[in-house]
Amino acid sequence: KNEVEQSPQNLTAQEGEFITINCSYSVGISALHWLQQHPGGGIVSLFMLSSGKKKHGRLIATINIQEKHSSLHITASHPRDSAVYICAVRGATNKLIFGTGTLLAVQP
Amino acid sequence: GAVVSQHPSWVICKSGTSVKIECRSLDFQATTMFWYRQFPKQSLMLMATSNEGSKATYEQGVEKDKFLINHASLTLSTLTVTSAHPEDSSFYICSATLLVHQETQYFGPGTRLLVL
């Protein structure tokens, strides 16, 4: 079992839909990251969380430390949101442990 | 925001040759740089952690004599894949952390390596 699990692995949505991607982890962490990987491979850091909730534009990230769970929400999804979304946790060694990613396709 | 570049963005080479990939922090000093490898449809796997002026720390299973890492300055780290084989074909990504805020990693755009 992976230390960081994401669901779903693949997600297809219609433009405008509300999207949720989930991340569960099994190790103690100091922070959790949500990353976006574009089709060309480049990675953008979206959020770094250690508690609570953060919002940036149409993106919202939440984390529940007790339940070892985080969610990434996209409101009013758009085709340009199509990408792979990766959850990564920072463990005791200060290294990032990555989930396998969620491939999101938003259709017009 | 902090920008990390990689060069080249893609490279095709013959089996047995060596390939050098550069990772630069363009507008900040990076104490630590990380090298990752990503195979198709898989997640990033950490290969090594590189601190300026010291030897890199390699993850279990990564051959340090095959993947040479040099971090000679606060803005440049290089990864050399020596005697490349087709199974080394992958997407290599570096990231860097700021001197004063080491929790945030800034990722480079990646280098796609194809070994024929």
Residue B29: per-residue pLDDT: 86
A41/B103 touch (CB, cutoff 8 Å), yes or no: no
Mean pLDDT of B28-38: 90
Question: Can you tell me the distance from the alpha carbon of B93 to that of B89, in angstroms, rounded to the nearest whole number?
Answer: 13
pLDDT digits (tens, 9 = 90+) for B68-104: 999 888 899 999 999 999 999 999 999 998 766 667 7
Cα-only R_g, chain B: 13
A42/B109 touch (CB, cutoff 8 Å), yes or no: yes
A86/B42 touch (CB, cutoff 8 Å), yes or no: no
Judge whether A47 and A59 are in contact, CB under 8 Å.
yes
Taking the Cβ of residue B93 and every Cβ of chain A, the question of whether any pair is shorter than 8 Å is answered with yes
Q: What does DSSP assign to residue A87?
A: E
Mutation site, A29, A34, A43, A95, interface B, largest B CB count within 10 A: A43
Greatest Cα-to-Cα distance within chain A, rounded to the nearest angstrom: 42
Asked whether the predicted pLDDT for residue B54 surpasses 90, the reply is: no
Tokens representing A50 are 């250690």
Mean pLDDT of B55-78: 92
Taking the Cβ of residue B42 and every Cβ of chain A, the question of whether any pair is shorter than 8 Å is answered with yes
Q: Is A93 helix (H, G, I), strand (E, B) or coil?
A: coil
Which residue numbers in chain A have pLDDT < 70? 1
Tokens representing B46 are 């950490």
- Of the two residues A20 and B28, the one the predictor is more confident about is A20
pLDDT digits (tens, 9 = 90+) for A38-61: 888 888 889 999 999 999 999 999
A41/B107 touch (CB, cutoff 8 Å), yes or no: no
Residue A95: per-residue pLDDT: 83
Residue A83: per-residue pLDDT: 96
Tokens representing A31 are 């922070």
- Of the two residues B71 and B14, the one the predictor is more confident about is B14
Sequence-separated (6 or more) residues with CB below 8 Å from residue B107: A35, A42, A43, A44, A45, B4, B93, B94, B95
Nearest-by-CA chain A residue for B106: A45
3-state secondary structure chain B: CCCEEEECCEEEECCCCCEEEEEEECCCCEEEEEEEEECCCCCCEEEEEEECCCCCEECCCCCCCCEEEEEEECCEEEEEECCCCHHHCEEEEEEEEECCCCCCEEECCCEEEEEC
Chain A residues touching residue B50 (CB < 8 angstroms): none
CA distance A49 to chain B (A): 11
Residue B2: per-residue pLDDT: 75
Residue A1: per-residue pLDDT: 67
